[in-house]
């Protein structure tokens, strides 16, 4: 109960800071004495889009926390591991390879976030002028550094940390589920290698039950993150359009560099953390029906026909990660 109250208070504090920052960014356009230009609107929108991105991530983590907890508990308690089933050397190598890739993606993402934080938040210490993290309207009576500290806190706790948390969480769940489908395919393909008829029947029942569990797990994942993914895609598409305008408008080098970095980081984030894991998961799930047929059940265990046909029929259902049931998250989406 106490943890829930602390989380709620933290969410409210972060949201207030983010929305106050959005108001101050918009106020810059209202209170600016010089004539407004397109560059002013673009620069203001660039800052606001980052803040909205953070608000969306924070809200997704807070309002979906019960379902996220359920997903993590199911993964911890129900996913197969070397302790629950016997893994072939090929599957062990497969799992190790993807765990290794996860670690390197985490490290690369962490380094890029640190670089981003230094570039946005602390560049004022490397030049001879006061530079805010995002261009806000600042009252004349307010000192620079307290205002700068407020921006740093909002950018770190309201934008950077929620993005890191949600992106790594979603990618981890997708990759671990992909590995589970690989384990299931391997178990199914070697299902009838044993001459023990009773053991084969027990293993077949276990495989069918676990396949149903993985399908329901994907349904729960989509229920948890589908709306969040749709809002994220809307934000990222509009932000990329704005930054692409900055790249093509012949702006000064600093604006060009920041826009280029944002475009590269956003595309890396979307493709590596969402599209590739979702595509790999779909491919591994689609391969399940081939593994069922390659088990040669029709030779060794003709009586297993109904159960195997059930697995093959269920395997025809595509395992798709969706964004609000409007868009499918896969490599085709990233290319389009």
Q: Count of alpha carbons within 13 Å of 254, Cβ hemisphere only?
A: 5
* Burial (Cβ within 10 Å: 0-12, 13-18, ≥19) of residue 12: exposed
pLDDT at 200: 65
| Domain of residue 244, residue span | 2-335
Helix (H) or strand (E) holding 328: strand 327-328
Q: Own/partner pairs for 305-310, CB < 8 Å, 24+ apart?
A: 307/204, 307/205, 307/208, 308/204, 310/208
The set of residues, in sequence order, having a beta carbon less than 8 Å from that of 11 and lying 6+ positions away, is: 58, 59, 62
Helices (H) and strands (E) in the chain, counts: 13, 2
% of the chain at pLDDT higher than 70 = 80
Q: Rounded to the nearest 5°, which phi and psi values hold at 83?
A: -80, -20
Token couple for 126? 């490397």
The set of residues, in sequence order, having a beta carbon less than 8 Å from that of 198 and lying 6+ positions away, is: none
User: What is the DSSP pairing of strand 322-323 with strand 327-328?
Assistant: antiparallel
What is the rounded distance in angstroms from the CA atom of residue 160 to the CA atom of residue 26? 21
Token couple for 227? 């709306």
> Could you report the per-residue pLDDT of 93-112, keeping only the tens digit for each?
888 888 888 888 888 888 87
Per-residue pLDDT of the chain (336 residues; tens, 9 = 90+): 556 778 788 888 888 888 888 888 888 777 766 776 666 777 777 778 888 888 888 888 888 888 999 999 999 898 888 777 777 788 888 888 888 888 888 888 888 777 777 766 666 666 666 677 677 777 777 787 888 888 888 888 888 888 888 889 999 999 999 999 988 888 877 776 665 566 666 777 788 788 889 999 999 999 999 988 888 888 888 888 877 877 777 666 767 777 777 788 888 888 888 999 999 999 888 887 777 666 666 655 555 556 666 666 666 677 888 888 788 888 887 776
Token couple for 328? 């499918």
> Could you report the per-residue pLDDT of 163-204, keeping only the tens digit for each?
888 889 999 999 999 999 988 888 877 776 665 566 666 777
> Could you report the per-residue pLDDT of 239-256, keeping only the tens digit for each?
888 778 777 776 667 677
Domain count, the chain: 1
Residue 328 β-bridge partners: 322
pTM recorded for the entire structure:
0.86
Evaluate whether 14 touches 157 at the Cβ level (below 8 Å). Answer: yes
């Amino acid at each position: 109960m106490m943890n829930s109250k602390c989380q709620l208070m933290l969410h409210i504090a972060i949201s207030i800071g983010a929305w106050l920052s959005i108001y101050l960014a918009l106020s810059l356009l209202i209170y600016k004495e010089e004539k407004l230009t397109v560059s002013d609107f673009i620069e203001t929108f660039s800052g606001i889009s980052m803040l909205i991105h953070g608000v969306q991530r924070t809200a997704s983590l807070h309002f979906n926390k019960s379902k996220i907890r359920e997903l993590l508990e199911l993964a911890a308690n129900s996913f197969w591991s070397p302790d629950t089933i016997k893994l072939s050397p090929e599957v062990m190598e497969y799992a190790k390879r993807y765990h290794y890739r996860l670690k390197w993606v985490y490290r690369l993402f962490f380094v890029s976030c640190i670089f981003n934080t230094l570039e946005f938040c602390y560049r004022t210490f490397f030049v001879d002028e006061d530079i805010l993290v995002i261009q806000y309207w600042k009252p004349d009576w307010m000192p620079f550094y307290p205002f700068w500290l407020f921006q740093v806190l909002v950018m770190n706790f309201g934008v950077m940390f929620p993005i890191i948390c949600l992106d790594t969480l979603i990618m981890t769940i997708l990759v671990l589920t992909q590995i589970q489908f690989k384990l299931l395919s391997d178990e199914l393909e070697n299902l009838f290698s044993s001459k023990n008829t009773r053991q084969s029947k027990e293993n077949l029942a276990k495989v069918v039950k676990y396949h149903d569990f993985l399908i329901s797990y994907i349904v729960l994942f989509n229920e948890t993150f589908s709306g969040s993914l749709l809002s994220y895609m809307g934000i990222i598409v509009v932000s990329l359009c704005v930054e692409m305008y900055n790249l093509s408008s012949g702006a000064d080098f600093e604006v060009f560099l920041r826009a280029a970095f944002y475009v590269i980081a956003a595309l890396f984030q979307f493709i590596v953390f969402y599209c590739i894991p979702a595509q790999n998961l779909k491919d591994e799930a689609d391969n399940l029906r081939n593994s069922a047929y390659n088990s040669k059940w029709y030779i060794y265990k003709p009586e297993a026909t109904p159960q195997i046909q059930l697995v093959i029929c269920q395997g025809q259902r595509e395992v798709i990660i969706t964004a609000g049931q409007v868009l499918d998250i896969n490599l085709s989406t990233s290319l389009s």
